[in-house]
Amino acid sequence: MKEKTIAQVVVEVLQAAKQPMSAADITQAILDQKLYEFKAKDPKGIVRGAIERRCEGLDRKDSINPRYFKKLAEGKYGLANVTLQ
């Protein structure tokens, strides 16, 4: 079975939460539920980067499609109206 990407795991966390979350809260949920094994010292930075690369309205040099997320007020992220591929 193919390992899920961070973006796919974030989608699962946000779907389960049914509400916007901060990158720190999303990271903590991933760690608590053992949904992804991070090999980096800064998992929150990795999660934030993965989210923002696929965020509607954020145009970064490393942005990719499809856009799964949207950035909301107070540093929180929610799901865009996109389905996982």
Residues of the chain with pLDDT under 70: 1-2, 82-85
Supply the pLDDT for residue 5. 92
Q: Find the angle CA(2)-CA(23)-CA(49) to the nearest 5 degrees.
A: 60
Question: What is the spatial order of strands in the sheet that 76-79 belongs to?
Answer: 21-22, 76-79, 69-71, 55-56
The predicted-structure confidence for 36-58, as pLDDT tens digits, reads as follows 999 889 999 999 999 999 999 88
Could you state, in order of their start, the residue ranges of all structural domains in the chain? 6-79
Q: For position 82, what pLDDT does the model report?
A: 59
pLDDT at 51: 96
Q: How far is CA 67 from CA 32, 54, 83, in A?
A: 26, 4, 9
pLDDT of residue 2: 65
d(CA 70, CA 78): 5
Q: Contact at 8 Å (CB) between 10 and 52? A: no
pLDDT of residue 60: 83
- The pLDDT value recorded for residue 34 is 94
Query: How many Cα atoms within 13 Å fall on the side-chain side of residue 8?
Result: 8
